[in-house]
Structure 1
Amino acid sequence: MTTASVEKPSFLKAQIGGLPRPFWALWSGTLVNRLGTMVMPFTGVYLSQARGLSLAATGIVMAVFGAGQLASQLVAGSLTDRIGRRATLSGGMLATAAAMLALGYSTTLPAILASMFVLGLVIDAYRPASSALVADLIAPAERPRAYGLLFWAINLGYAVGMTAGGWLAQSGFLWLFWFDALSSVVFAVLVWRAVPETRPEPEAGGPGGGMREVLRDRLMLAFTAVVLGNALVYSQTFTTLPVAMKLVGLNTGEFGAAMAANGVLIVVLQPLVSGWLGRRDPARTFALGVAVMGAGFALTSFVTSTAGLMATIVVWTLGEIVTAGIAGAIVASLAPAHLRGRYAGLFGFAWAAAGMVAPLMTPLLEISASALWFTVGAIGLVTGAAGVALSPAIRRRAALNER
């Protein structure tokens, strides 16, 4: 008696197989868009060098951009549910291209301020639509893997785009604006042509629509607070960390070399672990990742060299990899199908708010490095504990929404 052998899928197929074609169109567009992300990493340099703005004026411009981002996620989330995922994403990308070129050709402070506010409003408008598309297209069990692959595409594209942007900037900043605008247009066209509209209609007799319905969801509000804690920890990478390392005595070259470990680890490890992480309890896994991130940043208080900084970066990057695909999957599991855009918008709002609050922690450095980094570590641990506490409720909600 013989038994038929079952051929096991290859490791690569297990990591990327089984996802629908529209997802890969979204993934490809995300990668192209991030390959063209060249303006934002060099905005401060552009404003001060090319446009001759003072440090104070540059700070005001960046604050206006941040205000646009705060409004962006809530507005885009509502549009995602009202006019559709595809229209919001493509429209946001076309608006980003126009705002990029407007900023590139703006020469006066009022024009720069207006362009930066509009850019803040539209540059990340694609995120709620993208998140909702994944939730619409992908079965719950596969969502962590799908969100993880999108995170991987963002990091891969950003790393290449930033490197190319530094080279192109030497030939003139205007090149950066044109490449960024072109990549946004390509993303818009690709999604419009290759991704179907997936917006579901509200169920008869079910919960209503509107942001008010989202804000009544206590579980989502509690998880948003957890996301805010996670975002506050991560936001130290581009706010207080560069300042703290300069005080330690590391120059920009040494800091950049150490930070490269973050991108390398994400590009190498993220596709390998997304499927495995997706089989774990989402809220507990997310909580673990945040706690590891917090521990990694707490260790930064002992850094005195490039090697020491790189070691701490390895620790918090591992936590970042764990959280990357899980958070979006949790939000998708909490949201009624017809409100996925708004739920994703609230999630994005937490990240935008953290980006504005995180720099306010810099004065802790005037007390001591330990005061800053142990505070960041404590935020990570408390956030992780809150995530564990929410885990049973999140599991119950996910089971209810999957029926």
Structure 2
Amino acid sequence: MHALRRLWHDTAGGLPATFWYLWAGLLINRAGAFAMLFLSLYLTDARGASESVAGTVVGAYGAGGAAGVLLGGVLADRWGRRATLLAAHLATAVLMVALAFSRPLLLIAALSALVGVVHSMPSPAFVAAIVDVVPAQRRSRAFNLQFWAFNLGMAVASLLAGVLAEASFTALFLVDAAATLTAAAVIGWKVPETLGRATGVPPAGPPTADRSPREGLHTALTDRTFLVFVGLTFVLAVLTLQTSTIMPLAMRADGLGPSAYGAVVALGGALIVLGQLFVPRLIDRHRKDVVLAVSTALLAIGFGVLAVADDLGVYLGAAVVWTVGSMLAAPPNAQINADLAPPHLRARYQSVFYLTFPAAAFVAPTLGGVSLQHLGDRHWLIVGGLGLLAALGHLLAGPPRDRHVAALRRDAGREPAPRVDRVRTG
């Protein structure tokens, strides 16, 4: 027990109160985030859509998210982090209620795209706010706890959603809306505006010596080193999103129902809840590019195994492998993103980074639905091969990125980065 308390103190000590309110809001939101996780099953089982149509509608959610994450980044740097979070959460609650009572597939597709917009808006604001208030030496642990909260909420959501989906799909949307409103209440009550606390730039502030009026999304979108990292993260997101887009359809084809799918997702969440606090110690003193290469390879192997899966036991075993990969990837991914972003463009860089997830949410189900329908189990071999190529890409991209980060630090008047860029956890 003493060892566990020491571990918690080493991991969570020294983090400001605002971080914990942001953390609590994220946890509440994810614990009730049932609906979009089960959207493909809802469309096929309750609305009678084919696998291809279901994939297209889920893809519309991803397409909306691509616009929403960019919008969220711009608004978080202009309006402020808190205002963006509140607006996105309130809009999400309204749209979830609308989805609960919608029946035509075209209307569901349109609402799904809008939900994608408002679901993705908070991501850059959440991370930018964390970077604003958490000291640099504690950020890796803060990101680790953020990932832990996200998956703790997902584990709770998956367990409850598996039961709710078999009783009432409508309840999924309504509970999601209620949880989103609760998260908005926590943020509105306890989270102050953080924009300007660390960057020195107030909301809608005028240009300064460090902030040209010509800077913005264009700066992030033309930063080659950053874009290589974003591209590799996109592949990671495509792999990860197999669990919520294509895997439910594959499990159904193997005769497994929503409760079995909920158990697989819940297992991944439980592993993260139990093990994520140990990750900083495990990856400390290792290069970020090596950690990301290993994590991506584990994801590739885990999903590749599904080519021979035909019962729940194989799915559960594969989930252990890809979940460990996801756990290892979270802290270095977030830390590299923070290292590459100029402070006054922090949310915009975050928005381009988080664009990978809604983009993957469009590509994974849209192409994956067709691939699964026509290639069957060979779909998982393609997914595994893509992941192994991305693992190699991380090893090749790491050294030049380390030199780029060192140059950014020298230009900012800080000490240069160490020759070997390592995951810093304390």
What interval of TM-score do these two structures reach, taking the shorter chain for normalisation?
0.7 to 0.9
Residues 67-106 of structure 1 mapped to structure 2, 5 A cutoff = 67-106=63-102
Q: Note the C-alpha offset of 1:227.
A: 0.8
Secondary structure class of the residue paired with 2:120? coil
The question of whether the paired residues in 2 share the 8 Å contact of 1:236 and 1:358 is answered with yes
Q: Note the C-alpha offset of 1:131.
A: 0.9
Secondary structure class of the residue paired with 2:102? coil
Q: What amino acid is the match of 2:236?
A: N
Q: Note the C-alpha offset of 1:210.
A: 1.6
Q: Which moved more, 1:20-29 or 1:32-41?
A: 32-41
Secondary structure class of the residue paired with 1:77? helix
Q: Does 1:210 align with 2:223?
A: no
Q: 1:215 to 1:379 in 2, by over 3 A?
A: same
Give 1:271's aligned residue.
277
Task: Report Cα offsets for 1:331-353 as digits up to 9, x if no partner.
Answer: 11111111111111111111222
Q: What amino acid is the match of 2:317?
A: A
Q: 1:290 to 1:58 in 2, by over 3 A?
A: closer
The question of whether the paired residues in 2 share the 8 Å contact of 1:296 and 1:313 is answered with yes
Q: What amino acid is the match of 1:165?
A: A
From 41, 55, 58, the equivalent of 2:37 is 41
Q: Does 1:223 align with 2:229?
A: yes
Q: Does 1:251 align with 2:256?
A: yes
From 384, 393, 401, the equivalent of 1:383 is 393
From 142, 155, 162, the equivalent of 2:138 is 142
2:408 and 2:41 map into 1 onto residues whose CA distance is: 45
2:44 and 2:379 map into 1 onto residues whose CA distance is: 29
The question of whether the paired residues in 2 share the 8 Å contact of 1:141 and 1:279 is answered with no
Q: Note the C-alpha offset of 1:269.
A: 0.4
Q: 1:150 to 1:98 in 2, by over 3 A?
A: same
1:171 and 1:146 map into 2 onto residues whose CA distance is: 37
Task: Report Cα offsets for 1:64-120 as digits up to 9, x if no partner.
Answer: 222211211111111111111111111110111111112223344454333222111
Q: 1:42 to 1:235 in 2, by over 3 A?
A: closer
Q: Note the C-alpha offset of 1:141.
A: 2.5
Aligned-pair identity (%): 34
Q: Which moved more, 1:155-164 or 1:58-67?
A: 58-67
The question of whether the paired residues in 2 share the 8 Å contact of 1:291 and 1:384 is answered with no
1:13 and 1:20 map into 2 onto residues whose CA distance is: 13
Q: Note the C-alpha offset of 1:162.
A: 2.6
Q: Note the C-alpha offset of 1:43.
A: 2.5
Q: What amino acid is the match of 1:378?
A: L
2:300 and 2:306 map into 1 onto residues whose CA distance is: 10
Give 1:310's aligned residue.
316
2:284 and 2:408 map into 1 onto residues whose CA distance is: 14
Give 2:150's aligned residue.
154
From 336, 340, 355, the equivalent of 2:342 is 336
Q: Note the C-alpha offset of 1:321.
A: 0.5
1:261 and 1:367 map into 2 onto residues whose CA distance is: 23
Q: Note the C-alpha offset of 1:282.
A: 3.3
Q: 1:376 to 1:178 in 2, by over 3 A?
A: same
Give 1:282's aligned residue.
288
Unaligned runs of 5+ in 1: 1-8
Unaligned runs of 5+ in 2: 202-206, 415-426
Q: 1:138 to 1:169 in 2, by over 3 A?
A: same
Q: 1:176 to 1:354 in 2, by over 3 A?
A: closer
Q: What amino acid is the match of 2:135?
A: A
Q: Note the C-alpha offset of 1:57.
A: 5.2
1:365 and 1:48 map into 2 onto residues whose CA distance is: 19
Task: Report Cα offsets for 1:18-71 as digits up to 9, x if no partner.
Answer: 110000000000111111112112323444555565666544432322221121
Q: Which moved more, 1:376-385 or 1:51-60?
A: 51-60
With structure 2 as the length reference, what TM-score do the two structures score? 0.82
Q: What amino acid is the match of 2:8?
A: L
1:56 and 1:243 map into 2 onto residues whose CA distance is: 11
With structure 1 as the length reference, what TM-score do the two structures score? 0.86
Q: Does 1:62 align with 2:58?
A: yes
Q: Note the C-alpha offset of 1:402.
A: 8.1
Q: Which moved more, 1:48-57 or 1:93-102?
A: 48-57
The question of whether the paired residues in 2 share the 8 Å contact of 1:295 and 1:380 is answered with no
The question of whether the paired residues in 1 share the 8 Å contact of 2:159 and 2:266 is answered with no
From 348, 352, 359, the equivalent of 2:358 is 352
The question of whether the paired residues in 2 share the 8 Å contact of 1:132 and 1:344 is answered with yes
Q: What amino acid is the match of 1:340?
A: R
Give 2:420's aligned residue.
none
1:390 and 1:347 map into 2 onto residues whose CA distance is: 19
Task: Report Cα offsets for 1:187-223 as digits up to 9, x if no partner.
Answer: 2222222222122316514555321111121111111
The question of whether the paired residues in 2 share the 8 Å contact of 1:283 and 1:394 is answered with no
Give 2:418's aligned residue.
none
2:45 and 2:305 map into 1 onto residues whose CA distance is: 36
The question of whether the paired residues in 2 share the 8 Å contact of 1:145 and 1:274 is answered with yes
Task: Report Cα offsets for 1:227-255 as digits up to 9, x if no partner.
Answer: 112222323333444555667x5634666
Q: Note the C-alpha offset of 1:298.
A: 4.0
Q: Which moved more, 1:144-153 or 1:157-166?
A: 157-166
Q: Across the two proteins, how many residue pairs are aligned to each other?
A: 394
Q: Which moved more, 1:140-149 or 1:236-245?
A: 236-245
1:332 and 1:147 map into 2 onto residues whose CA distance is: 10
2:103 and 2:377 map into 1 onto residues whose CA distance is: 40
Q: Note the C-alpha offset of 1:390.
A: 4.0
Q: What amino acid is the match of 2:386?
A: V
